Chain A
Amino acid sequence: MSDLAELALLRGSLDHCIKCTICETACPVAAATPLFPGPKYAGPQSERYRVLGEPSVDASVDYCSGCGICSQVCPQGVKIAEINAQARDKLKRQRGVPLRDRIITRPTWLGRVGTPVAPLANLTLRLRPTRVLAQRLLGVHRDAALPRFAGRRFSRWAAARSSPRSARRVVYFHGCGTEYYEPWEGEKVVAILEHNGFEVITPRQDCCGLPLQSSGLFDDARKAVLKLARALAAHLDGEETIIVGNATSCTLMLKREAREILALSEDPTLRLVAERTYDICELLLELHHRGELRTDFRALPETVAYHAPCQQQGHWIGKPALELLELIPELDVREMDARCCGIAGTYGIKAEKYEIGMRVGQELFSQVQASGAATVACDSETCRWQIAHATRREAVHPIDYLYRAYGLGQPGV
């Protein structure tokens, strides 16, 4: 099947819509701004008016953040967020892609430029005049949470050591956030996996293409995800070897989104990679259910607020992080039930969308503040940056708690 035929079939899921409006009531963006007319309207309803090859007439679909909650709550199986993503792609191709989107959708490129000059880059990116200028020139909101370059790369650390040989092997997909901004998260993932008897292979890898996809740059996104899939698949030697990642939106990209939204379901490599990919917490909880997870946890007498990001919910695996955190003695885990922090990848840093993103996240931020927890655990890095920015609290990946509870020591921060 051609990718066009595949997209036409995905679009055909609009047939399942019975107008029940459940998606409209769940959409966090429509609730926060009148600029987005809502998922039912922008998705299955408007799609009936869109003609292949004719110009896009509904720029409002660009205000969809792509969080995917609509598709998750739809009781009929309409691929609402995916239809919206296609409409955005068409709009972007027609309008031309702003320079900003060309830059912020390429974390690999950004990371390579920023890492060697990290102190300077971090300082510059925190200076008010720079941010005002960046908003004016690039449309990156001056108050938006931007990550700090770590100044070192996770892959260098991984290449300099070797994981103890084992019959149980995992291919580690660390993603760009770990590579350039939070290498310590990767070091903790490796330590936890090795603690549980895995040999961890870290192939050379670049961006999965998700930022490109969510900004509607589909062709570039396809190239990126296929390149990554080949890099990871090259290490899938045995039947048992799996891929594990800690960037939950990026693992979702490999599992499902690239295949559906980018119409790549028939690519055999991507299919293999999709079948073998696990979110880190998903894997650890599955081990626990099989009685294979080490539970030699120390008590952590503290309170943590846990937020399951939208993209994590898109895995359809429940909230494994929550169950894992509850294995840790004396850890008081507070589940936040607000849906979305508002960042949606790069949506919330864009000048025209920052305020919307902050309004979307308000309920979550209030819950966090009311929880009494000093720290928030969350599976997605961009969500962590947004939550930390908005609540002035530390935000970490849930595996940080497992790492500490295992007593695995201090990674080189």
Chain B
Amino acid sequence: MVTLTTDVLVIGGGATGAGVAWDASLRGLDVVLVERHDLAQGTSGRFHGMIHSGGRYAVKDPLAARECIAENRILRRIAADCMEDTGGLFVTTPHDDPAFAERFAQGCAQTGVPCEEITPAQALREEPRLHPGISRAFRVPDANIDVWKTVWALAHGAQQHGARILTYHAVTAILRDGDQVLGARVHDQRGGEDLEIRARVTVNATGAWAGRIAELAGIEGVRVFPGRGIMIAMNHRLVNTVVNRCQMPTDGDIIVPIRTVSVIGTTDHHTDDPDDQTVEQREVDQMLDDGEKLVPGFRQARALRVWTGVRPLFEDAKAADTDTRDVTRAHALLDHEQRDAVNGFVTITGGKLTTFRLMAEQTVDAVCRQLGETRACTTASEPLPGSERREHYRLGERLARKEADLNGEQLICECEMVSRQRLEQVIARTGSTDLDDIRRQLRLGMGPCQGGFCIYRATGVLHARDGLGADQADASLMAFLQERWKGVWPVLHGDQLRQARLDEWIFHGVLDVEHLPR
């Protein structure tokens, strides 16, 4: 068995784990990160894409609000290229308690969240599809973030500082000798090999799965409540600003414009299984009805797909099992040396994407404490690879790039404007033959037709470039179609149903995918 040795082993390739890898490698530590799937394929890749201003927590959780606005400002500096400065609005719709607006404004003032009241008329000029009956509107610095781009930038940055990133490597055992954790045994899910990673400190950054990894380490009582929430992506930007209902946080009260779509979220249901990706029909119905309260006509707009994200909520004895939103949203850093007298092991869980950098900072601080070293954190000022120019992403970038070479660049994915050249680059760079992995790098197949027109083209490109067998290429195509279908069918009505019928004719009628050689 191959053995790797490192300073820090990070388990979990979400935003937090990648953030820890980036932070630790900037501090000069040697890092290995393992992730059982692809990067940001779990909770991090399954949220609405919002970077909070803190407004959402200004009344209910002032500490969280303060953390959010501080991190929001930092992320704008260090991850500029991953973010779009959409701004945010909190609006009092006819469905909301009008008295909440004052509490909201006060909460923002007390927590330092910049908040400017504008007239409803002004809000409607900026966002014409908002409910025309809104009575108050507040502008806050919400933004959006492309989480895959961010996590890949963190990983690439860490790699540039020597870190090793091992995706599709699942932990099968935590190595422990007495009260010392020594690392982990992992299984390479693609290569089929097992390897042992010996580390001075092991970081459990597995979010909703943190309890399971802690259990493997023989540590009791790390209980994480998985809180399951659905999000629905609508086919285009119904709004260009993050729009929040000005009320106590509840289901379906945020619409986030992210890339070419707008995402409404979310619900909140307790589940026992962090891998639970159930979508209940009533949740979909509720979400579409909630959308209608912010944007009349929401139900007639085209829903592309739905997905489930599972929040890691660290157990709080005061909370009831049934409503996980009341369990603390704050993150939990468990230094097991202090908590359990087990050395070389740190768990970070809970929290929210907006504060992933802070979580990573505090985690690496704890790692350094355990190592008995003093190393200063620099992630608050060091820009991520690709964000050095500190310019925010703009939605029109892909359109502008295509416009500059209108006839030269062949589009593979028309909806998300992915060129053949970019596709070939990513295939060459990642060496991946998994179209779904490639999707997260390029947004391939994420537009209105959900791969209907691009995936057979991409499969051809993949086959040609990589010398992949037809059977493997076909398998990748089928796996991609299956993955897309999972998110499409629960919202299949109206325009998307017509699309699905056309896609079905393409793949069954023309390509006969059910009988491809594989």
Contacts and interface: CB of A to CB of B under 8 A. Distances in A.
Interface of A: 1-2, 4-5, 7-9, 11-12, 14-20, 34-35, 37, 40-41, 45-55, 57-60, 76
A19 B452 contact: yes
A15 B301 CA distance: 7
Contact of B399 (A2, A4, A46): A46
A59 B452 CA distance: 28
B407 interface: yes
Interface string B370-400: 0000000000000000000000001110111
B297 A12 contact: yes
B128 A57 contact: no
A342 B415 CA distance: 29
Given A14-B236, A19-B415, 4 more contacts: A45-B414, A47-B236, A49-B417, A51-B396
Q: Which of A8, A18, A50 has the most CB of B within 10 A?
A: A18
A73 to B, nearest CB: 16
Q: Which of B125, B237, B447 has the most CB of A within 10 A?
A: B237
Nearest to B125: A4
Interface string B421-459: 000000000000000000000000001110011000000
B449 A2 contact: no
Interface of B: 124-126, 128-129, 132, 235-238, 240, 260, 297, 301-302, 394-396, 398-400, 403, 406-407, 414-415, 417, 447-449, 452-453, 495, 498-499, 502
Contacts of A57: 396, 399-400, 403
A51 B502 contact: no
Contacts of B126: 52-53
18 contacts: A2-B124, A4-B125, A8-B129, A11-B236, A15-B235, A17-B448, A19-B453, A20-B502, A34-B407, A49-B260, A49-B399, A49-B417, A51-B394, A51-B396, A54-B395, A58-B399, A58-B400, A60-B406
Contact of A4 (B124, B235, B240, B448): B124
Nearest to A37: B406
Nearest to A263: B128
Contacts of B406: 34-35, 37, 60
A58 B404 CA distance: 9
Given A41-B414, A57-B400, A15 B302 contact: yes
Contact of A49 (B302, B398, B499, B502): B398
B396 A49 contact: yes
A53 B403 CA distance: 19
A49 B395 contact: yes
A34 B394 CA distance: 26
A51 B498 contact: no
Contacts of B235: 14-15, 48
B512 to A, nearest CB: 20
A190 to B, nearest CB: 44
A5 B124 contact: yes
Contacts of A11: 236
B396 A59 contact: no
A53 B128 CA distance: 12
B435 to A, nearest CB: 18
Contacts of B499: 18-19
B495 A16 contact: yes
Contact of B128 (A7, A34, A49, A76): A7
B263 to A, nearest CB: 14
Nearest to A9: B297
B498 A18 contact: yes
Nearest to B84: A51
B45 to A, nearest CB: 21
B449 A19 contact: yes
Contacts of A53: 126, 240
A237 to B, nearest CB: 36
Contacts of A48: 235-237, 260, 415, 447
Contacts of B407: 34
A283 B499 CA distance: 39
Given A48-B237, A50-B396, A19 B448 contact: yes
B400 A18 contact: no
Nearest to B86: A51
Contacts of A17: 448
Contacts of B237: 48, 51
Given A18-B502, A48-B236, A54 B394 contact: yes
B404 to A, nearest CB: 9
A373 to B, nearest CB: 38
Contact of B132 (A5, A19, A20): A5
Nearest to B497: A18
A321 B235 CA distance: 41
A49 B499 CA distance: 20
A93 B452 CA distance: 36
A5 B495 contact: no
Contacts of A19: 414-415, 448-449, 452-453, 499, 502
A54 B128 CA distance: 15
Contacts of B398: 49
Given A37-B406, A48-B447, A15 B132 contact: no
Contacts of A8: 128-129
A14 to B, nearest CB: 6
Contacts of A15: 235-236, 301-302, 448, 495
